[in-house]
Amino acid sequence: MSVPMLKIGAVLSTMAMVTNWMSQTLPSLVGLNGTTISRGGTSERIVSALYPSPEEGWQIYSSAQDADGKCICTVVAPAQNMCNRDPRSRQLRQLMEKVQNISQSMEVLDLRTYRDLQYVRNTESLMKVVDGKLKVASENPRSLNPKGFQELKDKVTQLLPLLPVLEQYKADAKMILRLREEVRNLSLVLMAIQEEMGAYDYEELRQRVLLLETRLHSCMQKLGCGKLTGVSNPITVRASGSRFGSWMTDTMIPSSDNRVWSMDGYFKGRRVLEYRTMNDFMKGQNFVQHLLPHPWAGTGHVVYNGSLYYNKYQSNIIIKYHFRSRSVLVQRNLNGAGYNNTFPYSWGGSSDIDLMADENGLWAVYTTIPNAGNIVISRLEPQNLEVLQTWDTGFPKRSAGESFMICGTLYVTNSHLAGAKIYFAYYTNTSSYEYTDIPFHNQYSHISMMDYNPRERVLYTWNNGHQVLYNVTLFQVIKTSGD
């Protein structure tokens, strides 16, 4: 079999080809994870190969722009014998499966965007009502007393930052509709090809699927991230356990897995309760117990991809415990990290090492003596717990109530008590910081655990024996391939 539009010689498995790519295709490919480097007059981004080996198909190894702005890429053609033994019908089936995967991913994206858009639309309506009342009061000051007028004005000020967020969500919804239409059209083309083999240029079709998959991947990656602009009122899920503890859902697994884990207390604990669903957790029913081989310290635990990561009691050792096998997969020393209340948060509780996860992976927040008690952020490799990169924020950990990561940014509260605010933000992507003023209602006046779940876009907190959720508002900028 020959590849359409191209004649293949006897040996092609290691042959590199440099071609001019269509200008509307390559910019979207830059959305994949990679590293940007400079070579002469070009800016080149090394892109992850879309196939694991040359035998499985065409590979994109790099992309660049020349001095005239034309897009160039380097590819490796598949081995000739692969084409000989892989009939066209099998390749078409693989394309059909790829389209189905795209459709499933888009459904997740659609549901997530619809939920957020409804929330922002409701906020917009509320803001218009409040703004209308403010105008009436401004025109007739006697209709509102000074205290009520100031409260109304403050409320409007708090709502104003949501306007650009609303506009962005509207743009996101339009983008999803366009992607859905492309998937539908592509599916129709594929079904027609199955009926009339050879009636369509396979390589052109493959490029369309590749482009669509890349755009969807880039959209999903960017849609989940943004800058924190607000925190909702608290939602009390349950009142259980002691004053201190932690509870969580998995930050990475599919949304169909609704298990909830609860860990009561902040030291010497070994008992982890696993509930089947959030509703079971609320009712305190249908749970199983995991007895950890080593006790924990603090409340900075996180469940990531089916495993519990926690700090071993009276040590700076991090343990990875796998729930399904009920065994410890890895344990590693976090070099130099303080423990046993050497550098805790302001509330104490052996909270020296705080493990957390966000859209960018697994993190450890702690401090060391050389860092003079200032918060240190380390990004961890989830498999072996090796430290990949470390940042010194310069913020004293004992002055922090709690902290959490969102999209590679560490947010720090100024207290664990009533009146707390999100006071400080450190951006790992630029190694810079700023002081913030984001209020939230600390309803039960003593937070001993606060962590973000990127899958649900909520904050989980343990507040004086109450398990509480907060929705967050992120300001997002979605860049298209034409930006």
CA distance 303 to 249: 7
- Tens-digit pLDDT string for the chain (483 aa): 333 333 222 222 222 332 333 333 333 333 333 333 333 333 333 333 333 333 344 444 444 555 555 554 444 444 333 333 445 566 666 676 767 666 666 666 666 666 666 666 667 666 777 777 777 777 777 776 777 777 777 777 767 667 766 676 677 677 777 777 777 777 777 676 666 655 445 666 667 767 766 665 555 555 557 899 999 999 999 999 999 999 999 998 776 788 999 999 999 999 999 999 999 999 999 999 999 999 999 999 999 999 999 999 999 999 999 999 999 999 999 999 999 999 999 999 999 999 999 999 999 999 999 999 999 999 999 999 999 999 999 999 999 999 999 999 999 999 999 999 999 999 999 999 999 999 999 999 999 999 999 988 899 999 999 999 999 988 865 554 444
Radius of gyration of the chain (CA): 26
N residues, the chain: 483
Evaluate whether 324 touches 306 at the Cβ level (below 8 Å). Answer: yes
CA distance 399 to 347: 10
SS3 per residue for 314-335: CCCEEEEEECCCCEEEEEEECC
Strand ranges of the sheet holding 432-439, from the earlier edge strand across to the other edge: 403-406, 409-413, 421-427, 432-439
How many Cβ atoms sit within 10 Å of the Cβ of residue 9?
Answer: 8
CA distance 306 to 197: 44
pLDDT at site 308: 98
pLDDT at site 5: 35
Q: Which of 167, 162, 166, 206 lies closest to 186, judged by CA?
A: 206
pLDDT at site 350: 95
CATH of domain 220-475: 2.120.10
Q: Which residues of 80-93 are buried (b: 16+ CB within 10 A; e: fewer)?
A: bebbeebeeeebbe
- What sign does the CA torsion over 152, 153, 157, 159 have? positive
CA distance 59 to 26: 14
Helices 202-223/88-139 angle, 10° precision: 30
In 140-260, alpha helices (H): 146-159, 162-195, 202-223
pLDDT at site 80: 39
List Cα–Cα distances, 471 to 3, 56, 237, 247, 443, in angstroms. Answer: 51, 43, 13, 16, 15
pLDDT at site 8: 29
Element (H, E) at 227: strand 227-231
- What sign does the CA torsion over 201, 207, 212, 216 have? positive
Q: Which residues of 105-115 are buried (b: 16+ CB within 10 A; e: fewer)?
A: bbeebeebbee
pTM flag (> 0.85): no
List Cα–Cα distances, 16 to 6, 67, 262, in angstroms. Answer: 14, 22, 53
DSSP assignment of 95-113: HHHHHHHHHHHHHHHHHHH
What are 70's two structure tokens? 């034309």
Query: What residue segments make up the domains of the chain, in order of their start?
Result: 88-138+147-198, 220-475
